[in-house]
Structure 1
């Protein structure tokens, strides 16, 4: 059975950089068994109702500005899978999850940057999924849990975001130093993920140190994908930190495996 993963997508620059983190993601894609398809929840696709992509061919969305021109020439021509999209919709129906089918939207950079590093040939079908930061963590977890049975069918579930994501606090002239508040929050998170302590994790905003900086209201959508990924592994409830590094003073590059 494939795990579910929470993967930080970092800055769009990862698409053209060669560093510790990009090398890790490339190796991860080579190490994991090749999936039949990937279901990907992206922090950069928010909607009030759960959206399920049902497309034949994705276009590449450049939902960022002011970066190197080379980024806007990258394409990731992934295909969808109508049958798996229908399976997802049936599971949501059976588990009381409201949803809507999306037949037009392409892949945002929260999706294609991660996918391109893992599977550069774009030869694995993708079902893109939205997230909703207005839901409670319990509700987000429930959505992921509804899909957990798909992991036994060689389908990889990925949630793309970032455990510490505060654009206002980034230090673009990176000197390698990591802000203590970011480390304290991420250490708290790791401790409670390791114990699968859902009561504490669901109240991270009031219990975790420096939560207001690590997960500011305008950046909440980057943190909450972790609950979708956790829910997809509710049957065993095992969390493993595969990678952690930081850029720009506090932007986390964390990869969590749930199984």
Structure 2
């Protein structure tokens, strides 16, 4: 079924030059959907996994098949969700808040890129039902602020526009209310029942995010700084062992700190993802690894 906003999204996307990598992505997706439509989630599928995804720098993922193909392939490997809830590094706000159920505008929270990307839209169906579910899962003592106008920021709409370009799945954004791992694990645990209803719970950040410490070579040649690969290897090992306590000590335990995360908001959504998992201490499945402009883009799903 076509979402009410999909036609608007298609009009914006029609302005993309034919040689742009994202234009090619849309052609490939359209051909795939024509021959093999993405199967929708049903209760017989059981709970969807929770995801942690490294969302790339601004709109950079639109320009590279190294991002486009694995992100869309990840989405296709899962049943199409009934709705998506995203906790993004780019909305730190307490008390806990939810975005507008159907905002009129996106948040273009990046600068210095091709003007084309500031015309992109992602007009998804109304997410009011999901907003009501999220509010209902929070304790009575925790008031959830509901924004009337706030749209999705690039930590949400950029990867989702690649993964679900038809814009036919309702999307709601939940703020990142704290940087404390235990509190975020508890928040994820409250969201866990949504997975049983076909809702995809996503923590969106970046496995390393030391932008102030990148050299020109890292940007130009994808040269990987030692602090980036050391932090990534540490995180990969802890995730493979299901060692949540070690991950929670990242400020003092992880090599490469504080260069890998001079501020921590791109790592901490990981704890919402793990908290929403059926067993937060179980090993995860890595779905995307490697580096972009020297930063680890490790992404994973937790059952």
TM-score, normalised via structure 2 length: 0.79
What is the CA-CA distance between 1:235 and the residue it aligns to? 3.4
1:252: which partner in 2?
296
Q: Would you say 1:143 and 2:187 are equivalent positions? A: yes
1:202: which partner in 2?
248
Q: Structure 1 residues 163, 58: CA separation in 2 closer, same or farther (over 3 Å shift)?
A: farther
Q: Would you say 1:45 and 2:91 are equivalent positions? A: yes
Q: Structure 1 residues 169, 46: CA separation in 2 closer, same or farther (over 3 Å shift)?
A: same
> Once superposed, what is the RMSD of the aligned Cα atoms?
1.7
Deviations 1:172-208 (A, max 9, x none): 5432432222111111111111222122111110011
Q: Structure 1 residues 69, 15: CA separation in 2 closer, same or farther (over 3 Å shift)?
A: farther
The DSSP-based 3-state class of the residue aligned with 1:120 is coil
Distance, in Å, in 1 between the alignment partners of 2:65 and 2:215 is 18
2:285: which partner in 1?
240
1:18: which partner in 2?
64
More strand by share: 1
Deviations 1:40-77 (A, max 9, x none): 11111110211123423442111111111111111111
Q: Structure 1 residues 199, 169: CA separation in 2 closer, same or farther (over 3 Å shift)?
A: same
Q: Structure 1 residues 204, 27: CA separation in 2 closer, same or farther (over 3 Å shift)?
A: same
Counterparts in 2 of 1:107-146, with a 5 A limit? 107-132=152-177, 134-146=178-190
2:148: which partner in 1?
103
Unaligned runs of 5+ in 1: none
Unaligned runs of 5+ in 2: 1-46
8 Å Cα contact 1:54-1:80 kept in structure 2: no
8 Å Cα contact 1:53-1:105 kept in structure 2: yes
What is the CA-CA distance between 1:25 and the residue it aligns to? 0.4
Q: Would you say 1:5 and 2:36 are equivalent positions? A: no
Q: Which has the higher contact order (CA 8 A, sep 6+)?
A: 1
Distance, in Å, in 2 between the alignment partners of 1:163 and 1:15 is 15
What is the CA-CA distance between 1:87 and the residue it aligns to? 1.1
1:28: which partner in 2?
74
What is the CA-CA distance between 1:103 and the residue it aligns to? 2.0
Q: Structure 1 residues 124, 103: CA separation in 2 closer, same or farther (over 3 Å shift)?
A: same
TM-score, normalised via structure 1 length: 0.92
The DSSP-based 3-state class of the residue aligned with 1:34 is coil
